[in-house]
Amino acid sequence: MTEKLQKTAITPATHTTPPAKFSHGVKKGNILQVAGQVGFGPAVPGQAPTPVGPTLREQTLQTLRNVQSVLEEGGASWEDVMMMRIYLTDTGHFAELNEIYNEFFADLKEAPAARTTVYVGLPAGLLVEIDALAVLG
């Protein structure tokens, strides 16, 4: 009989508790799924999360840092990421997003992952959301 792998919820100390019954990340075996992250700054007890700023640059950089926090909490790094999905609210932001993305990952030897970008509606004030799938080892 095969031993069943346990799922472990991942929530970095810098993140707020999600508003519904989900985790910022879930690890099972060597798989780590990072839930969609947005450009909220570090959690402040007693305060609702808010975007770090109104611009795509501010929000994208913070969103990538938030994804990275979940990866690190789960024992992963960008080198372990196989797939990223980016959700934008405005088709006009695609070129700027790519510039920010390329700058953020400039030190990596290879592209960080396969990537899909789609356009969606997000809560007021949010411009971008990113999730990631990592395979450790």
Residue with tokens 């004030």: 125
pLDDT (tens digit per residue) in 105-118? 999 888 888 999 99
Per-residue pLDDT reduced to its tens digit, 22-65: 899 999 999 999 999 999 999 888 888 899 999 999 999 999 99
Three-state DSSP state, 34: strand
Return the residue matching tokens 């396969």: 114
- In tens, the pLDDT along 74-132 reads 999 999 999 999 999 999 999 999 999 999 999 988 888 899 999 999 999 999 999 99
